[in-house]
Structure 1
Amino acid sequence: MTTSTPLPARTAAPLLRLAPGDTVAVAREALAAGTAVDLAALGEAGALTVRTDVPAGHKVALRDVAAGEAVRKYGQLIGLASAPIAAGEHVHVHNLAFTASQAGAGSADAGPGGYAVGVDARPTPLVPPAERRTFDGIVRADGRVATRNYIGILTSVNCSATAARRIADTFRWPGALDAYPNVDGVVALTHGTGCGMDALGEGAQLLRRTISGYARHPNFAALLVIGLGCEVNQVAALTSGFDLPPEVPVVAMTIQEIGGTTRTVAAGVERVRELLPVVDAVRRVPVPASELVLGLNCGGSDAWSGVTANPALGVASDLLVAQGGTSVLAETPEVYGAEHLLTRRARDPEVAAKLVRRIRWWEEYTAAHGGSMDNNPSPGNKAGGLTTILEKSLGAVAKGGSAALEAVYEYAEPITAKGFTFMDTPGYDPVSVTGLVAGGANVVCFTTGRGSVFGCKPAPSIKLATNSEVYARMDEDMDVDCGRVLTGEQTVEEAGRELFELILEVASGRRSKSEELGVGDEEFQPWQLGAVM
């Protein structure tokens, strides 16, 4: 199995089997108990009688399964039967279970540590120069390429959040930026920490790395950095680590030094007004698609995520890699149990080893807090048909296409490699994408089966609905209807190519649905590690 399993031949049959030998099929539509399903579309003779009501997107057993026997989907293990399962029965949380020993099972050709390394790492040929694509980007003075042009207001500590928001709010009113058509906005990114922590500890270091990554993001043309004055995460120390070119204005302010909230807001508004003409003096120019860093994320997943939207995004990821660009998969808890598919694509043993080390860290981290990696599927995921973390992960890794895995990064580290890469992040969407954007992602694609209203300023967020029902119900929030793959209107390949074109358009300035709605200010959520003191 590759991580972008193609959808089987289109059919009107109510059941969809994703790989030969699968124990289960997925119900295309809600099936009532007693429904007889012709198995001819699955290449088998006879009929299957559905024994219990099965919601759309949920699994149906294709044969009898004994208690303790492996259950397979996508051609891979997704759990063990926790009770005998009869052919035609609904397969879900009541009769399918996960144990940690099932995760990272690797494969028959696995090497030391239980993982096959590099056996599927095939270099992606770059398209010929004459076929290289471009987008209309903004080239900064030091050569960094932006997809948006914001003034950013960053905070060192939660205590300065209100002042930062009030400064940004001054420029939200209709007409406030009409004189500056090349400025995408003034955005305040606040957070809930910055003090009550060990100044030299892992948590403080991670926070500074995340904020510094945002400060260096090419989509910020100028910055205000606001602190209180007495916090652990001191503004002067923070800004000294930004390592920005002199062309990027950085204005540092502390509320205690200026004399309170009202004076800080007034001073901040004045500085933004001074910066606006400077920031507006940019123009978009054609730049190679290789300058794109595409963040890959999913949230509110359902059973169709791994069948439609995620594989389509995997196609788009591969197309970008072929252009010389970069894509970044994340959400380590949501590749757990499918990491062997990524080690098989690692370009060298060290890349694979780094990924496995992060998996082991997560096992220890969750165990230390009394949790389990299988706690990851949310109630919404389960209502959408996902049962175990293995099943969720197998669908999630499809976002990464089939290109070789070139690098593995820790949270919010700068993404420097070209090609397909991975960043260690939590599965919680705002925290995950915050790490990706801190690393340099200048476009994010976000797949959702239950419906997400996610944005991630300063990077544009493109949302892909896994099914047409969610797309129609939430059309103000969804950019792409990948449910057309299920109806036969598109193949996964066609959906991926269409998405790639949309990525280029959005990178060129076309506003995504989340941008039209103004979503993305509150989703800045740095990963909080360490003791709160």
Structure 2
Amino acid sequence: MSASTTNSFLQIHPKDNVLVALKDLPIGEVINWDNRIIILQDAVRAKHKFFIDELKPGEEVIMYGVLVGKAMVAISEGGLMTTENVYHASQDYAYREIDCSWQSPDVSGFESRTFNGYHRPDGKVGTANYWLFIPTVFCENRNLDVIREALYNTLGYNVTDKYKDFTTQLLQAYQEGRSIETFSTETIVASHPVKNRVFKNVDGIKFLNHQGGCGGTRQDASLLGNLLAAYADHPNVAGITILSLGCQHLQTQDLLADIQKRNPGFNKKVLIFEQQQSQSEDQLIREAILRTFEGLTEINKIERAPAPLSKLCVGVKCGGSDGFSGISANPAVGYTSDLLVALGAKVLLAEFPELCGAEQNLIDRCTDRQTAEKFIKLMREYDAQAHAVGSGFHMNPSPGNIKDGLITDAIKSTGAAKKGGTSPVVDVLDYTEPATRPGLNLVCTPGNDVEATTGKAASGATLILFTTGLGTPTGNPVCPVIKIATNTALATRMSDIIDIDTGAIIRGEKTIEEMGTEILEYCIKAASGELIPKAVQLNQDDFIPWKRGVSL
């Protein structure tokens, strides 16, 4: 990223007509910029933008070197960018013949490195070893909850016992007539889940509770089948228990066919229990627990072994973004992405509503016309569907995004696209399509945090790098999610969910390249089980299937 900076503000690209405040700047502050004196017309909080030129209504706002908005009213030099004076705008896009050659970063220090993963018979390598429970219909969610509580509590995967103990202490204090107004919330210390596991080589027992499988359209059930098949086939999954009611749209044989179609060589242990064919609910649950326990003893025999870094498949995601996302965490993850691509690994960039404004750059990076045209088709269809119901990509930024400096969708999206680095786009994948080509892949998902991470894992991500400026507890059942803060204040305040702090970039203490290299080092340790990301420790197993409706 080309950038000019001081300790107070930053110009991201030489063409930009706005500067980003790196700290709070008062009204009347004198800005020395490019041999000019600019007087701030408004107070500018850190992460927000101010103009270095006067703009007339309709004139373009340029950031990251591209169109991100237009002036609604006349704007003074030194004026603050707000939703009252700027509206979303982005350039049109189309395929064009262009040289997409790429200067890859130096990876000599990583070429001989390995991670310790779980090798699967089909040649894939997992970063974790999970047993997965899959319901074919929402009617089985309660049974999954009962089984989860039984297995988690007994086998050492429960991380919520500390809250039960805390509630017990509150009850005891109440019964003894003691005040609970000042009762300490720090009295219970969480025990690390790994220390209590019965099966040391089973990293978790995961459950895909969902609201589908019946009652919707047959197309919904079919799409859900493809998604569940992708999770069954995931490199981090070693065995599966399927619970079916029996009468639902998504029949068990259809799910098994979807799995076989996705991977004809699929040979993982699959246990199937159909409630309408069982003697009782009690018998169903006991049998499912018994047979799954037997399966756990088998997959516990699988041990980690060295694998080249080219076997990694890393998804990149942002959520709870702020005005620093496109400056610190996202570009740092982008450099990590470039390192991974240069090493022969796969990188997955999704969230199509958050690529609005970055389309032309990504199209120009596509390795062939077919790939570019598939991306264009998916983007235009998605945006048209949103407009058909009175919405659109321009309505993507949340109140929290706007409050922290992301005034238009194009600003948010262009900064979000930085997670994909600079490498060529080798493939474009529709929802649930598997990534098969090493390099940068674009995956069609919503921007919604959980729907997006759910889709990345379906395409094969075995780690997800998740950047955030505001903080979010999002995780995934089968793919470890690594949380990366854009600023140190967040990393300090929400240290229980943040793994990596990129605030040193904002302070000028580290470069994007240095931070990106550190992130890759963390990935290697996490992929090897040496470090356990906070989302995994906390069992933040979020799973929301996308029905292909309008979700931004």
Q: TM > 0.5 between the two?
A: yes
Q: Alignment partner for residue 63 of structure 1, among 53, 69, 73?
A: 53
Residue 530 (structure 1) shift: 6.6
Q: 1:226 — aligned with what? A: 243
Percent identity over paired residues: 35
Q: Alignment partner for residue 231 of structure 2, among 208, 214, 219?
A: 214
The superposition leaves residues 386-416 of structure 1 with CA deviations (integer Å, 9 ceiling, x where unpaired) of: 0111111110111011111000000011111
- Give the aligned length: 507
* Residue 471 of structure 1 pairs with residue 487 of structure 2: no
Q: Alignment partner for residue 540 of structure 2, among 505, 511, 519?
A: 519
* Residue 449 of structure 1 pairs with residue 449 of structure 2: no
Map 1:277-288 onto structure 2 (within 5 A): 277-288=297-308
Please, which runs of 5 or more residues in structure 2 have no aligned partner?
Answer: 157-195
Secondary structure of the residue aligned to 1:84 is coil
| Alpha-carbon distance in structure 2 between the residues aligned to 1:417 and 1:493 | 25
Does the CA-based 8 Å contact 2:107-2:339 persist in structure 1?
no
The superposition leaves residues 151-202 of structure 1 with CA deviations (integer Å, 9 ceiling, x where unpaired) of: 1001111111111122122222265463311111111111111111333x2x
Q: 2:4 — aligned with what? A: 8
| Alpha-carbon distance in structure 1 between the residues aligned to 2:199 and 2:510 | 41
Q: 1:138 — aligned with what? A: 118
Counterparts in 2 of 1:227 and 1:118: CA distance versus 1, 3 Å: farther
Residue 37 (structure 1) shift: 2.5
Residue 513 (structure 1) shift: 1.1
Secondary structure of the residue aligned to 2:510 is coil
| Alpha-carbon distance in structure 2 between the residues aligned to 1:188 and 1:382 | 35
Does the CA-based 8 Å contact 2:242-2:270 persist in structure 1?
yes
Q: 2:397 — aligned with what? A: 377
| Alpha-carbon distance in structure 2 between the residues aligned to 1:22 and 1:363 | 26
* Residue 290 of structure 1 pairs with residue 277 of structure 2: no
Q: 1:189 — aligned with what? A: 208
Q: Alignment partner for residue 489 of structure 1, among 509, 517, 522?
A: 509
The superposition leaves residues 109-135 of structure 1 with CA deviations (integer Å, 9 ceiling, x where unpaired) of: xxxxx3434433437589579933210
Q: 1:89 — aligned with what? A: 79
Please, which runs of 5 or more residues in structure 1 have no aligned partner?
Answer: 107-113
Does the CA-based 8 Å contact 2:155-2:199 persist in structure 1?
no
Q: 2:526 — aligned with what? A: 506
Map 1:412-431 onto structure 2 (within 5 A): 412-431=432-451
Secondary structure of the residue aligned to 1:16 is strand
Q: Alignment partner for residue 458 of structure 1, among 478, 481, 484?
A: 478
Q: Alignment partner for residue 320 of structure 2, among 283, 300, 321?
A: 300
Q: 2:275 — aligned with what? A: 255
| Alpha-carbon distance in structure 2 between the residues aligned to 1:195 and 1:229 | 11
Residue 336 (structure 1) shift: 1.4
Does the CA-based 8 Å contact 2:3-2:11 persist in structure 1?
no
| Alpha-carbon distance in structure 2 between the residues aligned to 1:22 and 1:266 | 64
| Alpha-carbon distance in structure 2 between the residues aligned to 1:467 and 1:368 | 38
| Alpha-carbon distance in structure 2 between the residues aligned to 1:175 and 1:345 | 48
Q: Alignment partner for residue 236 of structure 1, among 249, 253, 269?
A: 253
Amino acid at match of 2:139: C
Q: 2:182 — aligned with what? A: none
Secondary structure of the residue aligned to 1:495 is helix
| Alpha-carbon distance in structure 2 between the residues aligned to 1:85 and 1:180 | 63
| Alpha-carbon distance in structure 1 between the residues aligned to 2:232 and 2:345 | 22
Residue 241 (structure 1) shift: 2.4
Counterparts in 2 of 1:130 and 1:448: CA distance versus 1, 3 Å: closer
Secondary structure of the residue aligned to 1:25 is strand
- TM (norm. structure 2) is 0.88
Q: Alignment partner for residue 147 of structure 2, among 121, 142, 167?
A: 167
Q: 1:111 — aligned with what? A: none
Counterparts in 2 of 1:356 and 1:246: CA distance versus 1, 3 Å: closer
Deviation >6 Å, runs of 4+: none
| Alpha-carbon distance in structure 1 between the residues aligned to 2:92 and 2:301 | 55
Does the CA-based 8 Å contact 2:68-2:90 persist in structure 1?
no
Secondary structure of the residue aligned to 2:537 is helix
Residue 371 (structure 1) shift: 1.0
Does the CA-based 8 Å contact 1:308-1:485 persist in structure 2?
yes
Secondary structure of the residue aligned to 1:90 is coil
- TM (norm. structure 1) is 0.91
The superposition leaves residues 458-503 of structure 1 with CA deviations (integer Å, 9 ceiling, x where unpaired) of: 1111111011111111111111111110111210000000001111
| Alpha-carbon distance in structure 1 between the residues aligned to 2:64 and 2:105 | 27
Amino acid at match of 2:143: A
Q: Alignment partner for residue 14 of structure 2, among 9, 17, 20?
A: 20
| Alpha-carbon distance in structure 2 between the residues aligned to 1:487 and 1:53 | 21
Question: Higher relative CO (CA 8 A, sep ≥ 6), structure 1 or 2?
Answer: 1
After superposing the two structures, state which structure 1 stretch, 117-126 or 457-466, moved more: 117-126
| Alpha-carbon distance in structure 2 between the residues aligned to 1:339 and 1:130 | 31
The superposition leaves residues 331-353 of structure 1 with CA deviations (integer Å, 9 ceiling, x where unpaired) of: 00000121101011010111111
Map 1:255-274 onto structure 2 (within 5 A): 255-274=275-294
Does the CA-based 8 Å contact 1:171-1:185 persist in structure 2?
no
Amino acid at match of 1:164: L
| Alpha-carbon distance in structure 1 between the residues aligned to 2:466 and 2:385 | 26
* Residue 74 of structure 1 pairs with residue 64 of structure 2: yes
Secondary structure of the residue aligned to 1:60 is strand
Secondary structure of the residue aligned to 1:131 is coil
Q: 1:110 — aligned with what? A: none
| Alpha-carbon distance in structure 2 between the residues aligned to 1:130 and 1:70 | 43
* Residue 105 of structure 1 pairs with residue 92 of structure 2: yes
Counterparts in 2 of 1:239 and 1:133: CA distance versus 1, 3 Å: same
| Alpha-carbon distance in structure 1 between the residues aligned to 2:490 and 2:274 | 45
* Residue 34 of structure 1 pairs with residue 28 of structure 2: yes
Amino acid at match of 1:334: E
Residue 31 (structure 1) shift: 2.0
| Alpha-carbon distance in structure 1 between the residues aligned to 2:103 and 2:40 | 45
Does the CA-based 8 Å contact 2:200-2:300 persist in structure 1?
yes
Amino acid at match of 1:236: Q
Task: Let me know the Cα RMSD of the aligned residues.
Answer: 1.9
Does the CA-based 8 Å contact 2:222-2:250 persist in structure 1?
no
Does the CA-based 8 Å contact 1:118-1:344 persist in structure 2?
yes
| Alpha-carbon distance in structure 2 between the residues aligned to 1:335 and 1:262 | 49
Residue 253 (structure 1) shift: 1.1
